[in-house]
Amino acid sequence: MANHSEPYLRPATQDGTDPVPCPSGWQAESVGLWDGQWQEIVYHPRRHDVLIVRGECSPTLEASLPASGWSEARQTEGARMWVRDRLAATREALARLEERPRVARELGRSF
């Protein structure tokens, strides 16, 4: 089994056949037709958020997804797959906190 660190698409198993094993801690869910084949997304549910958008995205959605940590992972005619790595999003949020100037704190006592 290949070693993956990012969500990936693979052909879906046919009804009545044993499912293909996933890496430890990962799971597979159907995404329907993709590039003319039935596919499933394999991802680690505690680490990754996956969003499949079918049809056109509004300009507001186009701008807000990357701004909130989503990156476009795959695209096909009529569908786009976006992925957000929760671990990376947390690291980025912590880095932003580290970059903020310290708040001066005073007790407000007078002597």
Q: pLDDT (tens digit, 0 to 9) for every residue of the chain, 111 residues total?
A: 556 789 999 999 887 788 889 999 999 999 999 999 999 999 999 999 999 999 988 899 888 998 888 999 999 988 999 999 988 878 887 888 888 777 766 666 665
Whether pTM > 0.85 for this model: the answer is: no
Residue 110 in domain = no
Number of domains in the chain: 1
pLDDT of residue 54: 92
Q: Which residues pair with 51 in a beta bridge?
A: 82
Residue 36 in domain = yes
SS percent in the chain: helix, strand, coil, step 5? 20, 35, 45
Q: Which residues pair with 34 in a beta bridge?
A: 37
Residue 50 in domain = yes
**Domain coverage including residue 91:** 8-99
Sequence-ordered strand ranges (E) for the chain: 8-11, 27-34, 37-43, 48-54, 71-76, 79-85
Residue 73 in domain = yes
